Amino acid sequence: MVPRVIFGNGSFSQIGDILKLKRKSANAPFIFLIDDVFKGKELAARIPLVENDKTIFVSSEFEPKTYQVDALVEQIKAEYNELPSGIIGIGGGTLLDMAKAVAIMLTNPGSSAEYQGWDLVKNPAIYHVGVPTISGTGAEVSRTTVLLGPERKLGINSDYTPFDQVVLDPDLTQGVPKDQWFYTGMDCYIHCVESLEGTFLNAFSQSYGEKAMELCNDVYLKDIPEDESRDKLMMASWHGGMSIAYSQVGVAHALSYGLSYLLGVKHGIGNCLVFNHLEEFYPEGVKLFYKMMDKHNITLPTGICKDLTEEEFTTMINVALSLEPLWENALGKDWKKTATPEKLRSIYAKI
Backbone angles phi, psi at 168, to 5 degrees: -105, 100
Amino acid code (one letter) for 85 = S
How confident is the chain (351 residues) per 10-residue block, as mean pLDDT? 96 98 95 97 96 96 94 97 97 97 98 96 98 97 94 93 98 95 97 96 96 98 97 97 91 96 95 98 98 98 96 97 96 97 98 97
Report the 10 Å Cβ neighbour count for 63.
21
- Quick one: pLDDT at residue 245? 84
CB 86 within 8 A of CB 126: yes
- Quick one: pLDDT at residue 196? 96
Q: Are strands 54-58 and 86-91 parallel, antiparallel or unpaired?
A: unpaired
- Quick one: pLDDT at residue 152? 87
pTM: 0.95
**88-124 burial code (b ≥16 CB/10 A, e <16):** bbbbbbbbbbbbbbbbbbbebeebbbebbeeeebeee
